[in-house]
Amino acid sequence: MDKLRGNNAAGENPFKRPMNALQKQWYRVLLARRVGFGQRPPPDEKEPTYADICRQRYAASFRRYNECFRREMAKHEEMQRCAIDAMRVHRTFAITTLWLPLHSKREINSTLETLEKVLTAKERRRLQEILKQGESWHSHR
């Protein structure tokens, strides 16, 4: 718990976790994909090439998949019995999901930074109490 207080005193988010090797690898893949798209062709071009059509289809399906995934995760969070379970589901699946190409490092960090703004001071205190109780329970085992 002292570690959390130390990070929080420094102004850092206590929920932020470092990326593991697999997450770093997928982050590199995501960057490579974005670089691969390159410059957009000028709009006055007469015939779109097959590569342009494929790029548009790929981007549209990527957006549809992302929207569907977010809807499913929101429903899954709503089905949890209590708020702490919903928070665990959100943290485990929506922030550091196994399908990392859907989330960039910037998006993960912005989500973690806004998490502090979402919780009120009372909720944040209660969360710290719950985390403290969890740590003391694990240390007795």
- The label of the residue with tokens 């207080």 reads 5
φ and ψ of 99, to 5 deg = -90, 70
Grade residue 141 by pLDDT with cuts at 50, 70 and 90: low
pLDDT at 94 over 70: no
Is residue 66 within 8 Å of 100, Cβ to Cβ? no
Closest CA to 123 of 92, 76, 83, 77: 83
In this prediction, residue 105 carries a pLDDT of 72
Hey, where are the domains in the chain?
A: 48-103, 104-141
Render pLDDT for 95-130 as a digit per residue (tens, 0 to 9).
555 455 556 677 767 776 777 777 788 887 887 787
pTM value surpassing 0.95? no
